[in-house]
């Protein structure tokens, strides 16, 4: 077991459970071309039946009408239309949305899997198989529709094969500046994506490179699209704004320049020749050093519309323009500077200026994938321009897959948030589904960054986030416990000890991580200046140009983002929400330091002071992280040893690193405010054997910077 099949292992059911299923003898696929998801679905079911029930089923293509009463059962797969054309009765099937499906087991155990389109048929097939793999019978008259049409992943793969914020080895797409020859892993990835309803992918880094559009790579992109198409996954690309200058040899990349327009027109035409079903372009511009329309004195809308026009002339793709536009050389001495304000400031007046095939992709919070952020207020400002919410499955700021961190509880704080636009219910999930403002294309993207490691993400447990991401794009009201339990049964085992252990560790993992890293909405206490975004580095949280600041001094901590005395960020929300965040009293504790600058002695709603909460939470978080490895040991022997050991290794590591986090943060703030821990723990480690206190031969004791990274501020070299 090396993880390559993720949750699609289709482990055999026990013979007792398997005997409760009818024998499925025939699979009828109502389409049979090479690239059709219906054909893929039939083959997947054939494979799944063999693995799960040890049954051999034949694939045929002619519909046998009427119910099969005796003998082996039949599974029919196709679209509702093709079923009807073949003489099937569709009168009882409810209206399906794009990509939706109908799954129906009749009284004789014959199964109908009918999609609104071919992708829907494939999604229905996976739904059937994932029930089967958990020993569950096919439901009858089950209708399933996705919440939103756009359910994409973003990969941040570079052409040289490295992956920005990737923690699982080199790219499965690119190597040595070209698309790889062997795309086997790409098809396998598409299979995993399709099984949870994901239907699109941007294959390269948002910090893109002009060589992506070289003739050889255009052909390579065509091969990637071919590898993913049978799984109903369409591809798109992220573009480098200055490609006309660098690849095209033009003197400018000005979006209004006729030469530049002609350049993009030509490239787009060429790309459509290789990828006729291209989903479109993703644009990161004027952000973190990337060029963009502002570089040429044009507006963001000018830039987006240039690509939109090119796409319109040649196909049906969309431009996804990222709202992540900000200057990373912010001057901290200007009190009003606030990176969190940037997206709304740039985009709020642009709502009516974009072409109708432009969407804006917004990170869930206004900063950058932090452990706790408020919902981005930009979701309340764009009403004519459809939006995509951007999540991050790659745990860039959340332990990089070396710490377990199950993300749905975090995502829910965002998706269930009510922005109260115009004083009306406006849950983020209803905005991105398109329902609230009446859009027909909007939805979800997540930065996933799988690599060529067989675990895909670098850790078996981290894969629950990819699985869950798909489930949430399909149904954002999903229950996070159900999702992790389904994933566990499919990935590891249905044994109750396994399911309970993985569920409880996963459900505690995000709050635990938040506890020992950054509490009360303080966010980025990790190393930020050296861009690794991993271990603790609270001293780097201020005084850097990136604007992820804590404003901590000897007396107080937190960023004042109020309208009255701060950066004004709170005022970017619709009035009911803005009023709540404007006041300390009505701001929830978990976002207090995001919105307010308060003394360390400020009393929280819990009655604790801010600083004592810091101390306690860090101790509680680290203590809970210590329990994960021993709890995991309960499942030894109940799952395969290779994955058991792999996860155990990481949990043991996490237990240690949680202590490093705990002590670094606590020591740092204790030194800053000089208020001792009421329980006397911080700075007092009676059982710890310091390396510098040992008899040393050939080592020297050195002071450590930052001091809080080692107890006593000393280490040996
Ligand atoms: C930040 C990452 C950086 C990305 C950027 C983005 O650190 O590598 O390029 O987001 O989303 O979180 O563009």
* pLDDT digits 0-9 by tens, 172-194: 999 999 999 999 999 999 999 99
pLDDT band for position 67 (cuts 50, 70, 90) = low
Is 165 exposed, middle or buried (CB count within 10 Å of its CB: 0-12, 13-18, 19+)?
A: middle
> Which of 87, 112, 144 is the last residue in one of the domains?
144
Question: Does residue 8 fall inside a structural domain?
Answer: no
Which residue did the predictor score with more confidence, 335 or 53? 53
Residue 449 belongs to what domain range? Answer: 150-479
Q: Tell me how many domains the chain contains.
A: 4
Same domain, 427 and 506: no
540: Cβ contacts below 8 Å, ≥ 6 apart: 527, 528, 529
**CA–CA separation, 547 and 207 (whole Å):** 20
> Would you say 52 and 132 are in contact if contact means Cβ atoms under 8 Å apart?
yes
Q: Can you tell me the mean pLDDT for 31-46? A: 96
Which pLDDT belongs to residue 40? 98
CATH code of 611's domain: 3.90.1330.10
**CA–CA separation, 167 and 183 (whole Å):** 20
Cα(194) to centroid of ligand 1, in Å? 26
> Would you say 279 and 234 are in contact if contact means Cβ atoms under 8 Å apart?
yes
CATH code of 455's domain: 3.20.20.80
> Which of 436, 453, 479 is the last residue in one of the domains?
479
3-class state of residue 224 by DSSP: helix
**369: region left, alpha or beta (phi > 0 left; psi from -120 to 50 alpha):** left
131: Cβ contacts below 8 Å, ≥ 6 apart: 137, 138, 139
Same domain, 173 and 134: no
Q: How many other β-carbons are positioned within 10 Å of the β-carbon of residue 479? A: 12
Question: Does residue 570 fall inside a structural domain?
Answer: no
Same domain, 537 and 613: yes
Q: How many other β-carbons are positioned within 10 Å of the β-carbon of residue 489? A: 21
Q: What is the mean pLDDT of the chain?
A: 96
∠ CA 701-707-713 to the nearest 5 degrees? 35
Question: Does residue 190 fall inside a structural domain?
Answer: yes
Is 620 an annotated catalytic residue?
no
Q: Can you tell me the mean pLDDT for 621-635? A: 98
Same domain, 555 and 663: yes
Fill in the DSSP letter of residue 335: T
Q: What percentage of residues in the chain have a pLDDT greater than 70?
A: 99
Is 375 exposed, middle or buried (CB count within 10 Å of its CB: 0-12, 13-18, 19+)?
A: buried
What's the pLDDT tens digit per position in 281-331?
999 999 999 999 999 999 999 999 999 999 999 999 999 999 999 988 998
Same domain, 96 and 215: no
162 Cβ below 6 A of ligand 1 = no
**Does 63 score more than 60 pLDDT?**
yes
Question: Does residue 10 fall inside a structural domain?
Answer: no
Same domain, 199 and 291: yes
Same domain, 394 and 262: yes
Same domain, 94 and 196: no
- Residues 5, 265, 288, 475: which is the catalytic one? 288
pLDDT band for position 210 (cuts 50, 70, 90) = very high
Which pLDDT belongs to residue 335? 79
* Nearest atom, ligand 1, residue 390 CA: 11
Which pLDDT belongs to residue 541? 87
What's the pLDDT tens digit per position in 225-243?
999 999 999 999 999 999 9
| Ligand 1 mutation target, pool 202, 204, 288, 365, most atoms within 8 A of CB | 288
**Does 543 score more than 90 pLDDT?**
no
**Does 712 score more than 90 pLDDT?**
no
pLDDT band for position 62 (cuts 50, 70, 90) = confident
Counting every residue, how long is the chain? 717
Is 331 an annotated catalytic residue?
no
207 Cβ below 6 A of ligand 1 = yes
Which pLDDT belongs to residue 572? 98
Is 288 an annotated catalytic residue?
yes
164 Cβ below 6 A of ligand 1 = yes
Question: Does residue 552 fall inside a structural domain?
Answer: yes
372 Cβ below 6 A of ligand 1 = no
pLDDT band for position 65 (cuts 50, 70, 90) = low
Question: Does residue 121 fall inside a structural domain?
Answer: yes
- Residues 109, 396, 514, 667: which is the catalytic one? 396
Helix (DSSP H) and strand (DSSP E) numbers for the chain:
19, 20
Asked if the interface predicted TM-score (ipTM) of this complex is over 0.85, the answer is yes
Cα(447) to centroid of ligand 1, in Å? 10
> Would you say 112 and 78 are in contact if contact means Cβ atoms under 8 Å apart?
no
Same domain, 506 and 449: no
* H or E, element range at 598: strand 598-599
Q: Which of 232, 188, 278 is nearest to 79 (CA)?
A: 232
Question: Does residue 216 fall inside a structural domain?
Answer: yes
Q: Can you tell me the mean pLDDT for 362-371? A: 97
668 Cβ below 6 A of ligand 1 = no
273-276, long-range: CB within 8 Å, 24+ apart, which pairs?
A: 273/222, 274/218, 274/219, 274/221, 274/222, 274/225, 275/221, 275/222, 275/225, 275/235, 276/315
pTM: 0.97
Distance, first Cα to last Cα, the chain: 40
* Nearest atom, ligand 1, residue 165 CA: 8
Same domain, 453 and 528: no
Question: Does residue 265 fall inside a structural domain?
Answer: yes
Same domain, 344 and 291: yes
Q: Which of 151, 86, 155, 154 is nearest to 120 (CA)?
A: 151
Same domain, 125 and 260: no
CATH code of 139's domain: 3.30.379.10
Q: Which residues pair with 283 in a beta bridge?
A: 239, 321
| Ligand 1 mutation target, pool 153, 206, 321, 365, most atoms within 8 A of CB | 206
> Which of 479, 512, 540 is the last residue in one of the domains?
479
* Nearest atom, ligand 1, residue 284 CA: 13
């Amino acid at each position: 077991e090396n993880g390559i099949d993720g949750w699609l292992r289709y482990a055999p059911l026990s013979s007792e459970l398997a005997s409760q299923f009818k024998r499925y003898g025939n699979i009828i696929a109502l389409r049979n071309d090479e690239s059709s998801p219906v054909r893929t679905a039939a083959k997947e079911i054939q494979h799944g039946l063999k693995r799960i029930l040890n049954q051999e089923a034949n694939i045929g293509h002619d519909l046998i009408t009427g119910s099969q009463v005796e003998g082996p059962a039949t599974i029919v797969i196709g679209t509702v239309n093709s079923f009807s054309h073949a003489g099937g009765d569709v009168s009882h099937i409810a209206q399906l949305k794009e990509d939706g499906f109908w799954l129906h087991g009749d009284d004789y155990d014959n199964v109908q899997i009918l999609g609104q389109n071919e992708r829907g048929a494939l999604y229905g097939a996976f739904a059937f198989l994932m029930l089967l793999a958990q020993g569950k019978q096919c439901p009858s008259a089950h209708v399933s529709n996705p919440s939103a049409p756009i359910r994409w992943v973003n990969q941040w793969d570079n052409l040289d094969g490295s992956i920005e914020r990737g923690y699982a080895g080199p790219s499965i797409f690119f190597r040595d500046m070209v698309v790889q020859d062997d795309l086997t892993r790409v098809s396998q990835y598409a299979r995993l994506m399709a099984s949870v309803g994901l239907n699109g992918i941007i294959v390269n880094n948002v910090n893109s490179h002009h060589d992506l559009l070289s003739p050889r790579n255009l052909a390579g992109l065509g091969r990637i699209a071919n590898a993913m198409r049978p799984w109903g996954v369409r591809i798109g690309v992220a573009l480098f704004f200055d490609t006309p200058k660098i690849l095209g040899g033009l003197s400018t990349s000005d979006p209004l320049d006729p030469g530049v327009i002609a350049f993009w027109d030509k490239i787009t035409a060429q790309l459509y020749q290789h990828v006729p079903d291209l989903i479109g372009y993703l644009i990161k511009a004027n952000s973190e050093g990337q060029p963009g329309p502002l570089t040429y004195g044009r507006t963001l809308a000018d830039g987006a519309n240039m690509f939109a026009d090119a796409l319109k002339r040649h196909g049906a793709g969309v431009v996804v323009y990222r709202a992540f536009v900000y200057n990373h050389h912010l001057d901290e001495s200007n009190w009003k500077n606030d990176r969190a304000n940037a997206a709304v400031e740039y985009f709020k007046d642009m709502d009516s200026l974009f072409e109708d095939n432009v969407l804006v992709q917004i990170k869930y919070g206004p900063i950058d994938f932090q452990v706790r952020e408020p919902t981005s207020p930009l979701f309340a400002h764009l009403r004519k321009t459809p939006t995509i919410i951007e999540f991050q499955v790659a745990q860039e700021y959340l332990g990089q897959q070396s710490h377990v961190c199950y993300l749905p509880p975090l995502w829910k704080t965002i998706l269930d948030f009510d922005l109260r636009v115009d004083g009306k219910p406006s849950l983020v999930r209803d905005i991105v589904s398109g329902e609230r403002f009446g859009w027909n294309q909007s939805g979800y993207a997540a930065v996933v960054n799988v690599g060529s490691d067989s675990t895909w993400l670098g850790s078996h447990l981290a894969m629950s986030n990819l699985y869950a991401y798909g489930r949430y794009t399909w149904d954002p009201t999903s229950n996070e416990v159900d999702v992790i339990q389904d994933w566990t049964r499919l990935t590891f085992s249905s044994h109750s000890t396994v399911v309970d252990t993985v569920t409880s560790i996963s459900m505690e993992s995000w709050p635990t991580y938040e506890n020992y890293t950054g509490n009360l909405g303080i966010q980025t206490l990790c190393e930020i200046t050296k861009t690794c975004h991993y271990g603790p580095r609270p001293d780097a949280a201020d005084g850097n140009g990136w604007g992820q600041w804590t404003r901590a001094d000897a007396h107080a901590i937190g960023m004042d983002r109020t309208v009255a005395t701060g950066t004004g960020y709170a005022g970017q929300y619709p009035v009911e929400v803005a009023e709540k965040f404007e006041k300390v009293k009505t701001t929830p504790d978990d976002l207090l330091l995001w919105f307010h600058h308060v003394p360390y002695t400020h009393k929280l709603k819990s009655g604790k002071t801010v600083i004592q909460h810091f101390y306690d939470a860090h101790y509680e978080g680290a203590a809970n992280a210590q329990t994960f490895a021993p709890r995991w040991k309960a499942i030894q022997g109940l799952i395969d040893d290779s994955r058991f050991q792999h996860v155990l290794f990481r949990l043991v590591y996490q237990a240690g690193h949680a202590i490093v986090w705990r002590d670094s943060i606590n020591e740092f703030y204790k030194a800053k405010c000089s208020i001792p821990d009421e329980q006397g723990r911080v700075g007092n480690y009676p059982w710890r054997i310091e390396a510098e206190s040992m008899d040393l031969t050939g080592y020297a004791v050195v002071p450590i910077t930052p001091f809080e990274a080692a107890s006593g501020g000393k280490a040996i070299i």
